[in-house]
Amino acid sequence: MRRDIDEALNGWPYEAEAGEILAREVKARDGRMVIQVRIELGLLQMEQDGRPDGLRPHGFATYLEYLRHRVASSSRARSWTMSQTHCAEADREFIQFFHRRVGWLAVQRFDKALRDADHTLALMDFVADYGPTAEYISSHERLRGLVLFHRTQAAAALALEHRKPDEAIDAVQEGSEALSEHEKDWISENPEDELPNASLIEQLDLVAGEIRKNFAVEKTLREQLDEAVADEDYEKAARLRDQIKARARR
């Protein structure tokens, strides 16, 4: 049995520009589809669903599910804290989902990128609640902005795929608001530290502007709703809320 990866790398040189991710979906020998990310010294191959490494930690689909089980089954759930082993395994899952998330963005599988971003944000929330030290929690919170940015990119692109530019703009604005809240929390808790990824909101503003320009969107339903509420036109606001709810069900 061959143990080198020459065949997989043949015709796929590592020629990435700054910030570029090289990724592709391929069919494995048993017929299942996997995602590969090209790195300088080879490649990463990941499963498309569940854990990227294909494992089931302690029989659970992800390590996050296992951690949630540990808390739920603990007699002292309110004071439960992650151990060193828990932290190491959680970090392993963070890294795996990061590699797959950027891979999905690169191959424009935005639904899967959105799913993986949501998983990472949920894992960050768990760490925020049960992390053993402030330093450990902070080391993850400083990356929350980037994950929110990736999630917003995926949500907006997915809406555009479905030819819904107004929903794409709403997704960008919701992402900007989430990033703004995160920045406020970060500055409040880390007044002497530099704000990580400070330009992300500006980048999202540019994205929203491009969508408005390219698709001639003046005001989205949510923006019209905000104006109606501000003007105390509650009848119009009710109609717009109904339209937004109906759109969400489609």
Residue 139 has pLDDT above 90, yes or no: yes
Q: Identify the helix (H) or strand (E) that includes residue 33.
A: strand 33-39
Q: Which residue has the tokens 């996050």?
A: 64
Read off the amino acid at residue 75. S
How would residue 132 be classed by pLDDT, with cut points 50, 70 and 90?
very high
Instruction: State percent of the chain over pLDDT 70.
Output: 98
Q: Is the pTM of this model over 0.85?
A: yes
Indicate if the pLDDT at residue 209 is higher than 90.
yes
Per-residue DSSP letter, 194: P
Residues present in the chain in total: 250
Q: Which residue has the tokens 């998983």?
A: 119
| Cβ contact 52:100 at 8 Å | yes
pLDDT confidence of residue 1: 60
Token reading at 9: 């790398």
Where in the chain are the domains? 16-211, 219-250
For position 47, what pLDDT does the model report? 97
